[in-house]
Structure 1
């Protein structure tokens, strides 16, 4: 064998090894994203101030089991859920909604109603099974500076019957969704709501989101691993000293 042939064989062998390593890395990444954790970024203010535009978080894929929505692009290869786990009231969950023109789209909201629950908003107060959820005004307003001058928005703390506490915003004292009919959650479905109550398209809007089938769950939001200011690009690393919200990194979501 000539020196030229040996060099050619070594080059081809090296290229094949690179291809093999890349394929293995891709396979591992797909398995992790499908079965364990999926990164997710917050595109809207519907969960403020729990989650902010520019937050990046990990979603636990095995918390509720697996459906075809656990796979990239939601291929309809099977129905139902494998290893199904029931969400707890108060969980922050990612789920799929069919949006005309966009296909299956990720939404993130809080689990408020479980199968069989009756949900209603009365004068801005959440009622679950005819009982008002305790709502206490917090001392400091949420300050929203989007679009110009800072706007002070009242913040409240709600406490669910299982002890879960979280903050909600009340942008409009007489918002369109502050008074609703009674929603009776069907079997196998959930009632999801955003913490920014007057700026959230959620299960109260039956024509858009409505009751969410358990099958549409993607996973539970658990850890905030990165965050940049609204309108900033996460990949612009040279701006990080000024644009990264350092205090939010590592926040465990409850």
Structure 2
């Protein structure tokens, strides 16, 4: 018997059935959806700026690429969702909460740093009254001012981190009281300097939102009598400010000091610390908190202290007097973080005509 001949004998080829055009299209679409889902879930996503809270740095109408790999991709809490859609479209939810997975984040390239511009889910929508899974909550973009363990203080609108003044964003905006001689400011100057009127304070006095550079320019015009920053005085209690307690007489311009919770950090529990940290303990870390006389009970047991299970961040808009941020709803838990804003890839201005709508100077612009 010729073993060599039989061993190396070629098996005759059988022609595979050719795919139909429909099958080829279906395979291509399935592959595209899977590839896009992996890229969007693990690497980066596109987001649009809907409001002016970051005005100056990021503009309404900017479209951003957000890197998820920078801080580690967060796995979906709600796997039963229609991909590439908003959580609610035309009043109908595009996800099902029937299956909700626990928080899990894969390793990333690094961690959130002070001054990073971060996209995250709105922590104000946590809690049973909303009943919205974490990854389906409204997405926001703000600048991280404080990281876990930092002590944040705001004095006359200047942010201090651990006792040192934090650098302000180059195009950060705030409010100024502008008094004129009665002559209006040229609208072209207002547009060029990115100045907007927030409200009228008197016959010739207006509260205007602008960057410091614009305030310096306005001072040079003959129809401007005075420009002074609008700052809420220290010791003035604003009931809208977190932690919504008159014991803490804080406002948007004078706030703190407050320490950002850090995973593994243990804080003693008292009336004051519970006021500051109760939402984190109860809502974000899913504990039942009760106060019985002078005793504080966590999950039915008396507790003198509490050790945090997650890291927390402090996010603020660069448009300081037109931003709902951590000053109003408090800490951002790590499980709400989506990723780091890295690139403005497109931008449109809804106030302009069709041919002038695109802001070409902002296309493919790195974010800092």
Q: Distance in 2 between matches of 1:137 and 1:58?
A: 21
User: Is the 2:115–2:145 Cα contact (8 Å) retained in structure 1?
Assistant: yes
User: Is the 1:141–1:152 Cα contact (8 Å) retained in structure 2?
Assistant: no
Structure 2 CA distance for partners of 1:118 and 1:101, relative to 1, 3 Å: same
Answer yes or no: is 1:48 the counterpart of 2:48: no
Among candidates 23, 26, 29, match of residue 19 of structure 1: 26
Q: TM-score, normalised to structure 2's length? A: 0.53
User: Is the 1:60–1:219 Cα contact (8 Å) retained in structure 2?
Assistant: yes
- Counterpart of 1:115? 148
- Counterpart of 1:88? 113
* 1:138-171 deviations in Å (ceiling 9; x for gaps): 8x95323799xx98534249xxxxxxxxxxxxx9
The CA deviation at 1:78 is: 3.2
Q: Distance in 2 between matches of 1:200 and 1:136?
A: 15
Unaligned runs of 5+ in 1: 1-8, 158-170, 233-237
User: Is the 2:75–2:106 Cα contact (8 Å) retained in structure 1?
Assistant: no
- Counterpart of 1:245? 359
Aligned length: 220
Q: Distance in 1 between matches of 2:367 and 2:169?
A: 21
Q: Distance in 1 between matches of 2:170 and 2:32?
A: 49
* 1:75-121 deviations in Å (ceiling 9; x for gaps): 74232422053111111010112426593111111111011111111
User: Is the 1:54–1:231 Cα contact (8 Å) retained in structure 2?
Assistant: no
* 1:152-206 deviations in Å (ceiling 9; x for gaps): 534249xxxxxxxxxxxxx96124401112221000111111101111111111x
Q: Distance in 2 between matches of 1:109 and 1:93?
A: 6
* 1:191-237 deviations in Å (ceiling 9; x for gaps): 111101111111111xx3x11112211110001011000467xxxxx
Q: Distance in 1 between matches of 2:20 and 2:366?
A: 46
After the TM superposition, list the runs of 4 or more consecutive aligned residues in structure 1 that deviate by more than 4 angstroms.
69-75, 134-138
User: Is the 2:169–2:318 Cα contact (8 Å) retained in structure 1?
Assistant: no
* Alignment root-mean-square deviation, CA: 3.3
Answer yes or no: is 1:79 the counterpart of 2:103: yes
Structure 2 CA distance for partners of 1:83 and 1:51, relative to 1, 3 Å: same
Q: Looking at CA atoms only, which structure, 1 or 2, has the larger radius of gyration?
A: 2
Structure 2 CA distance for partners of 1:144 and 1:69, relative to 1, 3 Å: farther
Unaligned runs of 5+ in 2: 1-16, 88-94, 172-191, 200-205, 214-227, 233-250, 263-310
Q: Distance in 2 between matches of 1:137 and 1:110?
A: 13
Answer yes or no: is 1:153 the counterpart of 2:214: no
- Counterpart of 1:166? none
User: Is the 1:190–1:212 Cα contact (8 Å) retained in structure 2?
Assistant: yes
Q: Distance in 2 between matches of 1:145 and 1:59?
A: 31
Q: TM-score, normalised to structure 1's length? A: 0.75
Q: Distance in 2 between matches of 1:127 and 1:198?
A: 17
- Counterpart of 2:254? 179
Q: Secondary structure at the match of 1:87?
A: coil
User: Is the 1:69–1:96 Cα contact (8 Å) retained in structure 2?
Assistant: no
Among candidates 111, 134, 139, match of residue 106 of structure 1: 139
Q: Distance in 2 between matches of 1:137 and 1:82?
A: 33
